[in-house]
Structure 1
């Protein structure tokens, strides 16, 4: 291996090469020979891998870049994949101050980026704008600061936001296909598969179930919640009450308040490596209650047959399945 490069020119060359490989490896026409050349390039110096991994993180941000409108770039007629490449190319130009400045001014590129994960414990983090976020177990998010907005992408899980107030710089959370837009408030976002639920604690938010639809969405006030899933054109709005337990996870608890199993499973499965399922609608209608430690929910699966009229089987994928115990007909 070569010595660590010392000049700025050498470092910039490695950065540009990492950007090139990141783009090529994501293109469908990337050849076997190119992939072999990439492996050889990685072996030349440890810094190559470091720069490439950094480019992979930027690539995820580039995938969220907005498309330029016709007044900015009328000649651009691209698919989502090729526009992502354009965004990536612009990000690569961050090595050139003028390009970086232009990307920021056009609202295409962020000037700061953060990535956070919470694995086996609740985690509190501070975003670069001063906003506070609590991440539930198994949650992941990224934060990007753009000229015209602060953007969070909730990759999975659940998060409670205390957003720093800034009317001129809206705070947008992207969750599944929808978005939550605020200027400063406190709210919770829960996501499992294609289901999303937003609980507002303080202030107000605008919730849209589909980021491609026009308009800012429906407004929530305190003690209101919105929920949506894939294909919903508008979110469903409802009232929350004093005994709502949606935020019990912040104290390490999951509270199931006499719910049907079909409604309880998404809340439980958020914490399980292998999701729990029900065999049929009659099993899904069985009700469950109780307060559980979110770190110990795997033990709940094996204990359910002790407290409910169910027994456990496994499906072909190895996932546990709850089956209702048939009721015996009364003797005549």
Structure 2
């Protein structure tokens, strides 16, 4: 960010982020990496610290917010507040105290409940505060916040299948990468890898937007439809799914690759790998792969690929495995 005036949307985003960090730093499962990310967030703009300190004021007097369950002390650095923001800090904090009388809830920008879930080595089923059921794939993480005007999930990474409790007056919003999925009650799957997102609708309807900053609620999906988007997409790409679609095979512990080019298959595989596979060039990426694999054993797939495909493995400077196509020998004359 720069010192130029912030838009209302940017200011609201900072306020929401400050509320998120306030809750995470009070949570007993807050990790060292999250604390490091919080430090980095503070350094981006001086208003981040101002808003965070104001949020702490609200936290201290808002009795209906989740309370700390341990002696975790939020990382606040008041001595680093720039002098030019002291006046702004005083103004924000002055507003924070009367707003806290409403516990932030009546204003619709502070939740009354918050949950954080992770799935590491096993698929995990969880129940959200609103009664919605979520199944998390391996290596997945999400948070749930209940606001006055919406139920909000942020998919931090991975994949999740949602069975959402119906509530037309209280929409359910999933934020994934730069976009969002908005529903009132339905069943759908969200897959995310880096900035790529794919939404598969099973039942009901959803609205999908590829960028949360764009106006409107997005494109509507009906049953047996899917949407996908990535960084910079103005609109999601919509397509039809068919009876043989295998996007939900992970719920049975499987990854199904149905004669895909490596360029298309690697994001599905890399979601499960600590060191992602890369292809050396476009000709390697065009090689096709198929098969059914156990999602808990995909690390073994890396070393077995040279046995089933015309490729060999090297390592790049980052230590990631690289697939190289084996040059075909010209036929002897």
TM-score bracket, normalised by the shorter chain, equals: 0.7 to 0.9
The worse-fitting range, judged by mean Cα deviation, of 202-211 and 58-67 is: 58-67
Q: Which residue does the alignment assign to 2:83?
A: 83
The worse-fitting range, judged by mean Cα deviation, of 200-209 and 80-89 is: 80-89
Distance 1:303 1:284 in 2: 17
2:64–2:112 contact (8 Å) kept in structure 1: no
The two structures have a TM-score, normalised by structure 1, of: 0.74
Bigger radius of gyration: 1
Which string of whole-angstrom CA distances, capped at 9 and with x for unpartnered residues, describes residues 69-115 of structure 1? 99999999999999999999999999979615251111010000000
**Shift in alpha-carbon separation, 1:92–1:234, aligned structure 2, 3 A:** same
The worse-fitting range, judged by mean Cα deviation, of 225-234 and 90-99 is: 90-99
2:208–2:236 contact (8 Å) kept in structure 1: yes
Distance 1:237 1:5 in 2: 37
Which string of whole-angstrom CA distances, capped at 9 and with x for unpartnered residues, describes residues 11-64 of structure 1? 999999999997999999999999999999999999999999999999999999
Distance 2:144 2:19 in 1: 21
The worse-fitting range, judged by mean Cα deviation, of 57-66 and 162-171 is: 57-66
Distance 1:218 1:210 in 2: 12
Unaligned runs of 5+ in 1: none
Number of aligned positions between the proteins: 332
What do you get for the CA RMSD once the two structures are aligned? 12.3
**Shift in alpha-carbon separation, 1:80–1:146, aligned structure 2, 3 A:** farther
Question: What secondary structure, in the 3-state scheme, does the structure 2 residue paired with 1:331 have?
Answer: coil
The two structures have a TM-score, normalised by structure 2, of: 0.74
**Shift in alpha-carbon separation, 1:253–1:86, aligned structure 2, 3 A:** farther
**Shift in alpha-carbon separation, 1:136–1:71, aligned structure 2, 3 A:** closer
Question: What secondary structure, in the 3-state scheme, does the structure 2 residue paired with 1:71 have?
Answer: coil
The worse-fitting range, judged by mean Cα deviation, of 84-93 and 225-234 is: 84-93
Distance 1:291 1:224 in 2: 23
Which string of whole-angstrom CA distances, capped at 9 and with x for unpartnered residues, describes residues 277-304 of structure 1? 1000000000000000000000000000
The worse-fitting range, judged by mean Cα deviation, of 322-331 and 73-82 is: 73-82
Which string of whole-angstrom CA distances, capped at 9 and with x for unpartnered residues, describes residues 124-173 of structure 1? 00000000000000000000000000000000000000000000000000
The worse-fitting range, judged by mean Cα deviation, of 10-19 and 199-208 is: 10-19
Deviation at 1:178, TM superposition (A): 0.2
Distance 1:75 1:203 in 2: 43
**Shift in alpha-carbon separation, 1:23–1:106, aligned structure 2, 3 A:** closer
1:226–1:235 contact (8 Å) kept in structure 2: yes
Which string of whole-angstrom CA distances, capped at 9 and with x for unpartnered residues, describes residues 200-220 of structure 1? 000000000000000000000
The worse-fitting range, judged by mean Cα deviation, of 179-188 and 95-104 is: 95-104
Question: What secondary structure, in the 3-state scheme, does the structure 2 residue paired with 1:302 have?
Answer: helix
Distance 1:304 1:208 in 2: 36
**Shift in alpha-carbon separation, 1:13–1:308, aligned structure 2, 3 A:** closer
